[in-house]
Structure 1
Amino acid sequence: MKITRVESIPFSIPYRKPLHFASGEVYAAEHVLVRVHTDDGVVGVAEAPPRPYTYGETQRGIVAVIEDVFAAQLQGLTLLEREQVGARLARTIGNPTAKSAIDMAMWDALGKTLKLPVSELLGGYTDRMRVSHMLGFDEPTTMVAEAQRMLDTYGISTFKVKVGRSPAKLDTAVVRALREHFGDTIELYVDGNRGWTAAESARAMREMSDLGLLFAEELCPADDVLGRRWLVGQLDIPFIADESVPTPADVTREILGGSATAINIKTARTGFTQSMRVHHLAEGLGVEMVLGNQIDGQIGTACAVAFGTAFKATSSYAGELSNFLDMSDDLLTEPLQIRDGYLQRSSCPGLGIEVDEDKLEHYRTDR
């Protein structure tokens, strides 16, 4: 089970329409396919989705750090030496999605080697998760129509609404339109991507206090320490920390400091090994967890559902597992299928997915 090679392949797949939110916009899935090869001939795969507006990573940067730094450091280690792998990767600051993709590809290779699904290796709690769909910035009628399409086509009834525009009434009007159209048949929560100030967030949440929201996520920046604590202290729903908690230490700081009361776990950001640490820490602190999405493609979504189904806490709420539906194509031989509002994880060894080599050849950007 020794690692012989770590491969990084950049690819680009257009979105059907641009995705807009407070911290930026995305027009194509310019991601990196990561492969970990072993001396047994097993190949593990994962996906690294760079988010320069959030973590500073770019597609070219991910490829460069894997090829120029990480690959040589990991050669010769086994798939079981995760602590050693983590220690060597930690020598390089930042680069969370590059590190996470390597970690998840190792778990995929380990599952294939042992002939067991990754989800069962992690915890094996359930085999499916309810799906939440993200609604990006648009007019109320357009966003209501998209939500209706998701409900009619895929059975999705939980929606994460992107907010954070100024004036805030642009967003509160959208959330109200969704609630008025669907009534209590859907679940709603909001994500500001740090777009509002604490005061703007407080006013917006008061305007939406009658709409039965599940959560509020990253409405204002975490580095406005006093303002965020002030905001969280007056909310009567959980406040989710997302991009402000990329490490277990950040989780501890935000929760104990009163700047959040719930946690968003994203495997694209913390892989499987670090995500387990975040999960166990949050569980020990008694805070709720949601499974997030970094606008992953189907490979990344397969990783997310493998982790989410492994634990009771991460499968208690609908997970953000539908962003791949906005892509014009993807890389898997057998596409993921959302049915009746659920996504089922594979029961095959590893992640249970296979990359279509012809599609990869078509969409890769390094040739």
Structure 2
Amino acid sequence: MRIVAIKCLSVSIPRVKELKVAYATRTVYNGILLQLVTDAGLIGLGEAAPNFEVCHETLEGTTQACRAMAPLVRGSNPLAREAILEKLEPWRHIAAAALAAYDIALWDLAGKSAGLPIRDLIGGYRQAIPNEMTIGIKDLAETVAEAMSIKASGMYAEIKLKLGLDPDLDVKRVHAVRAAVGPTFPLHVDANQGYDREGALRVLQALAGAGIDFAEQPVPAEDTESLRWVSDRSPIPITADEAVHTPEDALALVGSHACSMLNVKLQKVGGISHALDVLAIARAAGIPCMIGCMTETPVGIAAGAHVALGSPVVTHVDLDGGVDLAFQPATGGIEIQGDQLTVSDRPGLGVELNDEYRNRFANEEALQ
């Protein structure tokens, strides 16, 4: 089997609800859906969802990277994934989203070739994992109302609260949500680098009695020393998120005891393969991971779900990044059963492109 053609679909989809976090407000998704076409009739799907604030990547730069990678991939056996990734190694630190698109598509082809879901190729550890929903930065009343709606829906086993702009309001919002959802409903918080270390510690100490499972990235990603400082003193376990872009980052973080958990996002690390490298480091260090996402379509979200379900290291997921898109350019992928997230048993990702959307809205380019 050989890859004979590569297609790139540029996608722009508005969100029906904006998502406000400490460093940005998201109103639209701009990304790339990649197709690797083989001479066996199989097509692998991948996704690139560039994020400038976190990864310093743009849609234009990601598109250029996808074009540059294409000649190195075309003609290859898609099952020789490691050999292909070795060719693409120069892009790992500068175009992680583009690399993720190719890597995810290669895994999709591997699953389709084997007749197995990617979950089972990775390890098939579990069939389902508790589902989670994120609440962006809002005023107090809106935050509480959304939390109550999420709990009442029965579709989510956990809530993440975005913090990081107003420490006093952050503390009030968290305590108000805890009062609204009751003492046992799982909650965690994410400041998206919004505090300095002293401010982070003050907020975390003020939340000590709120039953918060963990707090994500309270300080700037590049300040590993402050992350360790906060982690040493916080009454709430600390998760590294924006600080984790590579396996090397993960090794440094766990080696310095800077956190208690890693949030692994395929778009940050360059796809499924490098995500598994990070999970292996965390497993060796004895710390758990969560699988997160950017704003993504069912292609990228399904890829993250397969990793989460395939590995025992993953204890949490945050894979709600596509729920507020105005329409979906692909179908299939994840499924919700009660408050649990799962995937179908279809081979590969279990995702198909929406031809109606592609014909009407997507800008398709055959990469040379």
Q: So what's the TM-score if we normalise by structure 1? A: 0.94
| 1:177 alignment partner AA | A
In structure 2, relative to structure 1, the CA distance for the partners of 1:365 and 1:27 (3 Å cut) is farther
Unaligned runs of 5+ in 1: none
- Cα distance change, pair 222–27 in 1 and its aligned pair in 2 (3 A): closer
Q: Does 1:344 align with 2:353?
A: no
Which residue does 1:64 correspond to in 2? 64
Equivalent positions of 1:323-362 (< 5 A) are 323-334=321-332, 336-362=334-360
| Contact persistence 1:222–1:259 (CA under 8 A) | no
Q: CA deviation at 1:297?
A: 2.0
Change (3 A) 1:110 1:335: closer
Q: Show the counterpart of 1:258.
A: 257
Would you say the 8 A contact 2:100–2:266 is kept in 1? yes
Aligned runs of 1:127-276 on 2, under 5 Å? 127-165=127-165, 167-270=166-269, 271-276=271-276
Partners of 1:80 and 1:178 in 2: CA distance:
48
Task: Report the counterpart of residue 31 of structure 1 in structure 2.
Answer: 31
The one-letter code matched in structure 1 to 2:340 is Y
Asked whether the equivalents of residues 267 and 307 of structure 1 are also in contact (C-alpha less than 8 Å), the reply is: no
Query: Which position in structure 2 is the counterpart of 1:6?
Result: 6
Once residues 267 and 332 of structure 2 are traced to their aligned partners in structure 1, the CA distance between those partners, rounded to angstroms, is: 21
Q: Distance in 1 between matches of 2:127 and 2:15?
A: 29
In structure 2, C-alpha distance between the alignment counterparts of 1:42 and 1:216, rounded to whole Å: 42
User: What is the distance in 2 between the residues matched to 1:219 and 1:137?
Assistant: 15
Q: Distance in 2 between matches of 1:218 and 1:258?
A: 14
Q: What is the alpha-carbon distance in structure 2 between the residues aligned to residue 250 and residue 357 of structure 1? A: 39
Task: Rate the CA distance shift 1:150–1:110 in 2: closer, same or farther, 3 A.
Answer: same
How far did residue 163 of structure 1 move? Answer: 0.8
Residues in 1 aligned to 2:358 and 2:144: alpha-carbon distance in whole angstroms: 34
Q: Quickly say closer, same or farther: Cα 1:335–1:14, change in 2 above 3 A.
A: farther
**Greater mean alpha carbon deviation, residues 333-342 or residues 187-196:** 333-342
Name the CA distance, whole Å, in 1 between partners of 2:267 and 2:43: 19
Which stretch shows the higher mean deviation, 123-132 or 331-340?
Answer: 331-340
Does the CA contact (< 8 Å) of 1:150 and 1:156 recur in 2? yes
| Inter-CA distance 337–228: structure 2 relative to 1 (3 Å threshold) | closer
1:7-51 Cα deviation digits (max 9, x unpaired): 221111110121110121211111111111112121011221111
Number of aligned residue pairs: give it: 363
Q: Are residues 336 and 291 of structure 1, via their aligned partners in 2, closer, same or farther at CA, if it must alter by over 3 Å? A: closer
Name the counterpart of 2:296.
Answer: 296
Aligned-residue offset at 1:135: 0.9
Deviation digits for residues 251-306 of structure 1 (CA, Å, limit 9, x no counterpart): 11112123222111112333111111111110001111111121222221111111
1:67-121 CA-to-partner distances (Å, cap 9, x unmatched) read 1x10001112212222222221112341111101110111101111121111111
Q: The residue matched to 2:329 in structure 1 has which SS?
A: coil
Going from structure 1 to structure 2, the CA distance change for 1:106 and 1:220 (only over 3 Å counts) comes to: same
Write the letter of the residue equivalent to 1:255: V
Aligned to 1:15: 15
Letter in 1 for 2:325: M
In structure 2, C-alpha distance between the alignment counterparts of 1:190 and 1:292, rounded to whole Å: 13
Partner AA of 2:321 in structure 1: N
Q: Is the 8 A contact 2:298 2:332 kept in 1?
A: no
1:324 and 1:204 mapped to 2: Cα distance?
29
Residues in 2 aligned to 1:306 and 1:137: alpha-carbon distance in whole angstroms: 29
Letter of the structure 2 residue corresponding to residue 99 of structure 1: L
State the TM-score, normalized to the length of structure 2.
Answer: 0.94
CA distance 1:284–1:336, change in 2 (3 Å): closer
Code of the residue aligned with 1:25 in structure 2: it is T
State the secondary structure of the residue aligned to 2:55: coil
The AA in structure 1 aligned to 2:132 is: S
In the alignment, the residues of structure 2 paired with residue 276 and residue 227 of structure 1 have an alpha-carbon distance, to the nearest angstrom, of 27
Displacement of 1:182 in angstroms is 1.0
Alpha-carbon spacing, 1:110–1:359, altered in 2? closer, same or farther (3 Å): same
Query: What is the root-mean-square deviation of aligned Cα atoms in Å?
Result: 1.7
Structure 2: gaps spanning 5 or more residues: none
2:301·2:333 contact (CA, 8 Å) conserved in 1? no
Query: 1:323 and 1:360 mapped to 2: Cα distance?
Result: 20
Identity %: 27
Among 359, 362, 365, which residue is 1:364 paired with?
A: 362
Per-residue deviation at 1:361?
2.4
